Structure 1
Amino acid sequence: MAEYLIVLNKDEDTISVIDVDTKKIIKTIETDYNPHEVVISLDQKKTYVACSLGNKINVIDNDSFEITKVIEHPDFNFPHGLGLTKDGKKLYLASTYSEKIFIIDTETDEITNMFPTYQKYSHMISFSPDGEKVFVPNIGSDNITVIDVKREEVITHFPVGKGPEGVAVHPNNRDLYVANQDDHTLYVIDLETYSVSHKRKIGAIPVRLVFSQDGKYALIPNRESGDLSIIDTQHKLKDMVRPWEIKRIRVGVWPGGVVLNPEGTLAYVANNKTNDISIIDMNELEVIGRIKAGIHPDGIAYLVK
């Protein structure tokens, strides 16, 4: 079994396929213009890459590491956030400037549905752990759109902080964590009431948010401050239990995409302006190495095959 990092180098229009064991690039794939976000199919056979300024989705065969299909649509306008349904049969895409959601059949790689959010700059896709809802941060509207997966339609919107971008539902399926880049905050949202249960200042310009598999930590890269906020989601202090930033780890310049290995022992952070990947030991919460990538690495995924 081999393990790879799939790293999008958005300012040279390439993907670096990096062997996790050797920490070396084994292949460079040329993509369409400005690859931003990436997701790997549940069977690990295909990789989907949103090429935002090229207004295309590149579909890559993970055996050959070759682009086998390009998905296009007249209403793609900065296609960005990607996410898979729980069964892996459908791919959701947020197109930022057209402010629309596209749904793609992952067997045929054809678009089967599309609809507007009616919000400004719909940017990312995050599924609830039960697979029933999708949460879309709208950077320009300072809110989150909620989509019903079964009905494939918008069911509500609710306000958060300024410029929300990083979004993920905690594995408990009760709390939504939102990183707001314009006011440098983390909001924790109660999903029963869509109200803010916790609010924390973190680093400057938080842009992504990823949970460890056990839900113990939320990892938030802060673009302008060049660090990674580690949030203990059940921090205990003086008989209180609450989300708390327990450490801020210095990484490279302009950190962006974050991914963990399947065991949850290592995290990898793509540093846009130092053209490398920081490796973080999740037991010690320390940087233990760097891996070279291409120019402006951002989106990142972990492939096992």
Structure 2
Amino acid sequence: MLQPTLKYFIRQISACAALCVALTTPALAAGYAYITNQASNNVSVIDISKQQVIATIPVGKAPVGVAVSAKLAKVYISNVEGQSISIIDANKFEHLEDFPIKGSPVGLAIAPNSNVLYVADWYEDRILEINLSDMQQQREIHIGKAPAGIIVSPDGKKLYVANRDSNDIAIIDTEKLVVLSRINVGEHPYGLTLSPDGQKLYVVNVYSNTVSLVDTETGQIDTVRVGEHPYCVAVNPNGQYIYVTNTQGDTVSVVDIALKKTIASIHVGGFPEGIAFQAATQQIFVANWFDNTVSVIDASTNKVTASILTGNQSRAFGQFILEPVH
């Protein structure tokens, strides 16, 4: 049996060791935001806990889209003018390599629990399916004109594509890679997202100044007016609100999904584009193209709490926050 003094000594050592580990281990609780900067050809990595840029990673020419994989600990960037996909090591914050794409990649999406990356090829009007194990293209499908935003359903069975110049959404069967149906929405659909359960699809219509709320089972559509020249949309995991960037109003519209109306307008930086909701901190991150910043919004108050300087022409199109793996 240990003497009391020895027990105390061991407890103190254990506590000290635990503290040292905590102080030397990277803060993973809140995750990281990966912001594409189109004019400076790089990606700013924001530590959400610290609310600051901790790394700037060079990528290909004119980076736009982002897709993250916690499973692979990698981040994928579409370089629209470089005609390539850049891969970033999410553990080391390092650029690994670029893979050429015979086209102009914009929107990116990774199927849940898979090694498949979908790429929207803007000028060739097609979707590419890429195996992340070797970055080889497996299949492709031609769809509507100027595909932009894309997202995979939670069960991985469907891919939703916003065809900007066709004014519709293509719904693709991911197993057969065929178009199941099309849904006509507003004018120039661009950004889109799904509710956490996949039952609602939210589509931003740039020229209509609206958001289409689409029931993915019935196809029923409700339309909500937002700000001027809306671009992208993020959903609160509680399922109550969506947040829409308005590029010509420098605002974010807060839409109450149940009421089907805009209930608040939040002033952010100049020409806001990409937007994402961070669940751990209940914050909204907005990339501002003109200001070269990211605005941080407290979702509980709908107030901007920080402005983080990034690179030139920040876009961050897609799901750009890599959540920590628990």
TM-score by shorter chain over 0.5: yes
Q: Distance between the aligned counterparts of 2:306 and 2:169, measured in 1?
A: 36
Residue 191, structure 1, aligned to residue 210, structure 2: no
* Correspondence for 2:115: 89
Q: Deviations over 1:241-291 (max 9, x none)?
A: x32211111111110111222325111101110111111001111111111
* Correspondence for 1:206: 230
Deviation at 1:204, TM superposition (A): 0.8
* Correspondence for 1:229: 253
Change (3 A) 1:204 1:151: same
SS of residue in 2 equivalent to 1:124: strand
Residue 260, structure 1, aligned to residue 277, structure 2: yes
1:56-75 correspondence runs (5 A): 56-74=84-102
Deviation at 1:187, TM superposition (A): 1.4
TM (norm. structure 1) is: 0.91
Q: Distance between the aligned counterparts of 2:219 and 2:38, measured in 1?
A: 34
* Correspondence for 2:23: none
Residue 108, structure 1, aligned to residue 134, structure 2: yes
1:174 and 1:192 in contact (8 A); partners too = yes
* Correspondence for 1:237: none
Q: Distance between the aligned counterparts of 1:69 and 1:188, measured in 2?
A: 38
Change (3 A) 1:130 1:214: farther
2:204 and 2:210 in contact (8 A); partners too = yes
Residue 303, structure 1, aligned to residue 297, structure 2: no
Change (3 A) 1:73 1:51: closer
SS of residue in 1 equivalent to 2:257: strand
Q: Deviations over 1:196-232 (max 9, x none)?
A: 2x21211011111111122221111011111001111
Deviation at 1:4, TM superposition (A): 2.2
2:70 and 2:322 in contact (8 A); partners too = no
Q: Distance between the aligned counterparts of 2:191 and 2:281, measured in 1?
A: 20
1:44 and 1:304 in contact (8 A); partners too = no
Structure with greater strand percent:
1
Deviation at 1:304, TM superposition (A): 4.5
* Correspondence for 2:38: 10
Residue identity matched to 2:227: G
Q: Distance between the aligned counterparts of 1:153 and 1:227, measured in 2?
A: 37
SS of residue in 2 equivalent to 1:137: strand
* Correspondence for 1:139: 164
1:91 and 1:105 in contact (8 A); partners too = yes
Change (3 A) 1:153 1:7: same
SS of residue in 1 equivalent to 2:261: strand
1:128 and 1:169 in contact (8 A); partners too = yes
SS of residue in 2 equivalent to 1:248: strand
Residue identity matched to 2:216: L
Q: Distance between the aligned counterparts of 2:44 and 2:274, measured in 1?
A: 14
TM (norm. structure 2) is: 0.86
1:5 and 1:303 in contact (8 A); partners too = yes
* Correspondence for 2:307: 290
* Correspondence for 2:21: none
The more displaced of 220-229 and 10-19 is: 10-19
1:171 and 1:215 in contact (8 A); partners too = yes
Q: Distance between the aligned counterparts of 1:286 and 1:130, measured in 2?
A: 34
Residue 48, structure 1, aligned to residue 76, structure 2: yes
2:193 and 2:203 in contact (8 A); partners too = yes
**Root-mean-square deviation over aligned CA pairs:** 1.6
2:167 and 2:186 in contact (8 A); partners too = yes
* Correspondence for 1:238: none
Q: Deviations over 1:116-168 (max 9, x none)?
A: 11x21111211223322111011101111110112222222121110001212
2:190 and 2:206 in contact (8 A); partners too = yes
Q: Distance between the aligned counterparts of 1:281 and 1:229, measured in 2?
A: 14
1:81 and 1:123 in contact (8 A); partners too = yes
User: Gaps spanning 5+ residues in structure 2: where?
Assistant: 1-26
User: Gaps spanning 5+ residues in structure 1: where?
Assistant: 235-241
Deviation at 1:44, TM superposition (A): 5.4
2:225 and 2:261 in contact (8 A); partners too = no
Q: Distance between the aligned counterparts of 1:124 and 1:178, measured in 2?
A: 9
